Amino acid sequence: MSILNQFKPEFWHNSELSTGPFRQMFNYRRIWKIAVLLISLVTLLPLIFITSIDYNFTQKSIDSENLLRTLRIGSNAKRSISFFLSERISALSFVVRTNNLQELSQPENLGIILTNLRDSFNGFVDLGVIDQNGLQINYVGPYPLEGKDYRDQEWFKEIKKKGFYISEVFLGFRNVPHLIIAAKHSLPDGSFYILRAALDTNRFNELLSDFELSGRGDAFLINHAGVIQTPTLYHSQIFEKIPYSVPTYSTHTEIREEKNKAKEDLIICSAFIPDSPYILIIVKKKDDLMKSWRETRFKLIIFLVISISVILLVILGVSTYMVNSMYLLDQRRLSTLHQVEYSNKLASIGRLAAGVAHEINNPLAIINEKAGLIKDIITYTDTGPKNSRIVELIDSVLASVERCGKITKRLLGFARHIDSAIENVQLGNIITEVLGFLHKEAEYRNIAIKINVADNIPEFQSDRGKLQQIFLNIINNAFSAMSDGGCLDIRVWREGESDVVASITDNGCGMSEGDLGKIYEPFYSTKTKTGGTGLGLSITYGLIQELGGKIHVTSRLGAGTTFTITLPLKPANPAKQDS
Amino acid sequence: MHVLLVDDEKEFVNTLAERLSFRGFKVDYAIRALDALALAEKNVYDLAVLDMKMPGTNGLELKGLLEKIQKDMKFIFLTGHGSEADYVAGSSESACYLVKPVKIDALIAKMLEAVKP
């Protein structure tokens, strides 16, 4: 917390240190908060907005890209599988059309054809010729299927209508997944015969695994009932039902999103392979596909966090600097304002004093003259009573008049020098004049005042009024610091050829080191409870600066304070003085 | 020494005149500038003690008028006021400037000093 306090700007604790009817305008903490809030809003909102748009756009774009890519792969795979099947159907059709039944009935011929088909097209396992009665009249292959009657089988009925046939995948006698394809050749007399072949599904599987499926995709075939026909990577076994819904028929490649049992988002691409019982299914886990998006998203969030942090730091720094500068300038303005008020007050007091002195001086002069005349009459004529007691009383009146006259003259002298003017001054005299106002208080409080002015102090050019204010302020402070019976020691000596130094030492309460560093700051006062404005030493400091002098203070708590004022014997800067 | 005292405070000026008379000075006094000028027309004065602030014509103006009548006349300004303007004006008029109340001995000393050739 203390470290945090070190970074707190000056206005934070003195936010409402201002005067006048527009005080609320000078709540710097509020100004700072509004500035930080508004600048943050106008800078961060667009950034967050743009980043959010970019976030959504990029996400949708990657999402859409994944869907499109999967759709494209699905479409290509559909064409490849369709081509694979139609190529083999076409081969069978070609063979069945170019060879008559007699030729095909010869096992040697059929064997040569099977060999040729195997060489030209992968996957042919066996080959059989079936007559229009459904009887397999010739067969070449690894199984004893010759003479087998297919008359009642569904595929035989179907081929009679369609002219060709592609079966679903089944295990058959070998217990190896395979499928059969068949092509019919009709003769002009209405009779027909069929060439039937079994295809190994390995080639199918190779074909499906050749597709570049990003994101650990799985491509396989199902039949129209949703039974898996080819091996899959992650799903059920072959000939089991897929754990997803079976797509409805469509001539186009379709894509949809679905959740699996583990609640993972899936992209499922489906395509009905034309003229076959197969549906191509490509399944991709969305999570895998969005891996690149997650990396982009991480970078985007890091960018956003860094940007926001930098912007906030800059906003905080600039706002704090600006508001603190405003605060310091306002403090300086207030200080100047108070100084002007103080000077005006002094000038008003001076004019008032001069007016009062004038009004008092005239009746005093009359008292003086009348009393003097009484004494003259007693002294110079024989008409009055020759009574020494009366003369003593008159002398007492005259002495009192003289005392009053001195007071009024001192007031007039003080008032006369309020306006700034450079003239010849004797520092000792000025200090004596100032003490003239305070000697009664010193008497009442039993404060001893020692003055030691060196003999070699010359008259020098300075501003009498300012010097009076300087010494009045410092001696007043010394009086405040001392308890009754204190001792004030004033010394004036010459230092070198160019300076005169005055030190004012009291044996009062002294100041702590913390107070010492702040005593020249405006509004800093240790006497706020007893009416101190905190401006006296600030003004004194300013006045000494104006006169080209220096002020130094040493103090010890409980032991007393010494102010040392060094003044130049020649005005430092006449132009500055005039201003 | 023939002295002219001019001050609008009659109680002050007549008492001062009497006291100076006790000390051997020949003194006339006036409480208005016009009276002072009339006296100056009739008599020759070595010195005039003038109040700085009087109704109508002030001390400085009266000094100018009196100098036109008697150019060798010396002047002492006496005032209850001590403003900066008075002080500067009084001092610049090559005349003594005293602030009331003033001891009669001090006044006489200044008067003698002023008329010293």
Give the gap in angstroms from C-alpha A538 to the nearest C-alpha of chain B.
Answer: 27
A276 shares a domain with A158: yes
pLDDT category of residue A196 using cuts at 50, 70 and 90? very high
DSSP string covering A188-245, please?
A: TTS-EEEEEEEEETHHHHHHHHHS--TTT-EEEEEETT-BB-S--SSSPPTTSBPSSP
DSSP H/E element including B104: helix B104-115
| pLDDT more than 90, % of chain A | 22
pLDDT at position A29: 86
pLDDT category of residue A579 using cuts at 50, 70 and 90? very low
Judge: A362–B12 Cβ closer than 8 Å, yes or no: yes
- The length of chain A is 579
Q: And the tokens for B14?
A: 């007549």
Beta pairing partners, A506: A488, A561
Nearest-Cα residue of chain A relative to residue B18: A373
pLDDT at position A575: 43
Residue B33 has pLDDT above 70, yes or no: yes
pLDDT tens column, A439-452: 778 888 889 999 99
Under 8 Å CB-to-CB from A426, ≥6 apart: which residues?
A: A457, A459
Tell me what the mean pLDDT of segment A302-309 comes to: 91
pLDDT category of residue B91 using cuts at 50, 70 and 90? low
Quick check: is A43 in a domain?
no
Q: Is the ipTM of this complex over 0.90?
A: no
pLDDT at position B36: 93
Quick check: is A152 in a domain?
yes
Say how many domains are in chain A: 2
DSSP H/E element including A90: helix A28-98
Closest in A362, A416, A419 to B80, CB measured? A362
Residues of A in contact with B19 (CB under 8 A): 369, 372-373, 376
A355 shares a domain with A262: no
pLDDT at position A239: 86
Q: Phi/psi of residue A219, each to 5°? A: -120, 130
Mutate to test the interface with A, among B5, B15, B78 (most CBs of A within 10 A): B15
Residue A529 has pLDDT above 60, yes or no: no
Contact yes or no for A243/A260 (Cβ under 8 A) = yes
A565 shares a domain with A425: yes
Quick check: is A240 in a domain?
yes
In chain A, residues 396-455 whose CB comes closer than 8 Å to chain B: 401-402, 404-405, 408-409, 412-413, 415-417, 419
Nearest-Cα residue of chain A relative to residue B8: A362
Helix (H, G, I), strand (E, B) or coil at A541: helix
Alpha helix positions (H), A381-417: 388-416
Q: Which of A311, A239, A287, A330 is nearest to A31 (CA)?
A: A330
Give the gap in angstroms from C-alpha A498 to the nearest C-alpha of chain B.
Answer: 30
Residue A311 has pLDDT above 90, yes or no: yes
Tell me what the mean pLDDT of segment A539-560 comes to: 85
Closest in A370, A402, A416 to B83, CB measured? A416
Distance between CA A295 and CA A301 in Å, rounded? 10
Query: Average per-residue pLDDT in chain A?
Result: 83
Which has more pLDDT, B36 or A423?
B36
pLDDT at position A544: 86
Judge: B12–A366 Cβ closer than 8 Å, yes or no: yes
Q: Which of A1, A196, A214 is nearest to A89 (CA)?
A: A196
Quick check: is A236 in a domain?
yes
Distance between CA A208 and CA A273 in Å, rounded? 13
Q: Phi/psi of residue A367, each to 5°? A: -55, -45
Quick check: is A258 in a domain?
yes
pLDDT tens column, A19-71: 555 555 678 888 899 999 999 999 999 988 988 888 888 888 888 888 898 89
Contact yes or no for A564/A551 (Cβ under 8 A) = yes
The count of other CB atoms within 10 Å of the CB of residue A422 is 15
Distance between CA A240 and CA A250 in Å, rounded? 23
Residues of A in contact with B98 (CB under 8 A): none
Judge: A372–B9 Cβ closer than 8 Å, yes or no: no
Quick check: is A20 in a domain?
no
Residue A369 sits at the chain B interface (C-beta within 8 Å): yes
Residue B37 has pLDDT above 90, yes or no: yes
A562 shares a domain with A464: yes
Ramachandran sector of residue B65 (left: φ over 0; alpha: ψ -120 to 50; beta: rest):
alpha
Tell me what the mean pLDDT of segment A544-548 comes to: 84
Give the gap in angstroms from C-alpha A441 to the nearest C-alpha of chain B.
Answer: 25
The count of other CB atoms within 10 Å of the CB of residue A354 is 23
Distance of CA A86 to the CA centre of its chain: 66
pLDDT category of residue A4 using cuts at 50, 70 and 90? low
A419 shares a domain with A283: no
pLDDT at position A491: 93
Q: Which of A479, A404, A399, A371 is nearest to A434 (CA)?
A: A479
Tell me what the mean pLDDT of segment A89-118 comes to: 90
Q: Pick from A271, A289, A307: which residue ends a domain? A: A289
- State the residue for tokens 């008259």: A459
Contact yes or no for A462/A497 (Cβ under 8 A) = no
Distance between CA A361 and CA A374 in Å, rounded? 20
Residues of A in contact with B9 (CB under 8 A): 362, 365-366
Residue A16 has pLDDT above 70, yes or no: no
Q: Which of A449, A430, A71, A461 is nearest to A284 (CA)?
A: A71
Quick check: is A23 in a domain?
no
Judge: B82–A415 Cβ closer than 8 Å, yes or no: yes
Nearest-Cα residue of chain B relative to residue A362: B80
Comparing A140-144, A379-383, A429-433, A495-499, the range with the smallest average pLDDT is: A379-383
DSSP H/E element including A505: strand A499-506
May I ask the CATH architecture of the domain B2-115? 3-Layer(aba) Sandwich (3.40)
Tell me what the mean pLDDT of segment A80-106 comes to: 90
Residue B26 has pLDDT above 90, yes or no: yes
Helix (H, G, I), strand (E, B) or coil at B56: coil
CATH value at residue A89: 3.30.450.20
Say which DSSP state A149 is in.
B
Size of interface A-B (CB pairs under 8 A): 87
Contact yes or no for A464/A425 (Cβ under 8 A) = yes
Q: Pick from A289, A312, A331: which residue ends a domain? A: A289
Quick check: is A26 in a domain?
no
Give the gap in angstroms from C-alpha B18 to the nearest C-alpha of chain A.
Answer: 7
Q: Pick from A264, A289, A314: which residue ends a domain? A: A289
Contact yes or no for A493/A501 (Cβ under 8 A) = yes
Residue A328 has pLDDT above 70, yes or no: yes
Comparing A56-60, A459-463, A485-489, A523-527, the range with the smallest average pLDDT is: A523-527
Distance between CA A205 and CA A126 in Å, rounded? 19
Contact yes or no for A195/A172 (Cβ under 8 A) = no
pLDDT at position A252: 92
Domain boundaries, chain B: 2-115
pLDDT at position A574: 47
pLDDT at position B25: 93
pLDDT at position A578: 39
Give the gap in angstroms from C-alpha B15 to the nearest C-alpha of chain A.
Answer: 6
Residue A187, exposed/middle/buried by CB under 10 A (0-12, 13-18, 19+)? exposed
Beta pairing partners, A565: A502, A551
A347 shares a domain with A258: no
Nearest-Cα residue of chain A relative to residue B19: A373
pLDDT at position A333: 80
Residues of A in contact with B80 (CB under 8 A): 357-362, 364-365
Distance between CA A317 and CA A307 in Å, rounded? 15
Distance between CA B117 and CA A141 in Å, rounded? 167
Closest in A358, A373, A417 to B81, CB measured? A358
Comparing A13-17, A226-230, A478-482, the range with the smallest average pLDDT is: A13-17
Q: And the tokens for A228?
A: 């898996």
Q: Phi/psi of residue A126, each to 5°? A: -145, 180
pLDDT at position A223: 92
pLDDT category of residue A576 using cuts at 50, 70 and 90? very low
Contact yes or no for A374/A386 (Cβ under 8 A) = no
Residue A352 sits at the chain B interface (C-beta within 8 Å): no
pLDDT at position A565: 92
A401 shares a domain with A275: no
Distance of CA A36 to the CA centre of its chain: 9
Nearest-Cα residue of chain A relative to residue B107: A369
Q: Which domain holds residue A439?
A: 343-360+387-578
Closest in B9, B22, B84 to A376, CB measured? B22
Under 8 Å CB-to-CB from B63, ≥6 apart: which residues?
A: B48, B50, B75, B77, B93, B95
pLDDT tens column, A340-362: 777 777 667 766 777 777 778 88
A251 shares a domain with A187: yes
pLDDT at position A526: 67
Distance between CA A238 and CA A178 in Å, rounded? 12
The count of other CB atoms within 10 Å of the CB of residue A220 is 25
Give the gap in angstroms from C-alpha A554 to the nearest C-alpha of chain B.
Answer: 38
Nearest-Cα residue of chain A relative to residue B9: A362
pLDDT at position A297: 85
pLDDT tens column, A274-304: 989 999 999 888 888 888 788 888 888 898 8
A392 shares a domain with A273: no
CATH value at residue A486: 3.30.565.10
pLDDT tens column, B44-67: 999 999 988 888 888 888 999 999
DSSP H/E element including A574: helix A574-578
First to last CA, chain B: 13
Q: Which of A433, A377, A368, A436 is nearest to A402 (CA)?
A: A368
Residue A357 sits at the chain B interface (C-beta within 8 Å): yes
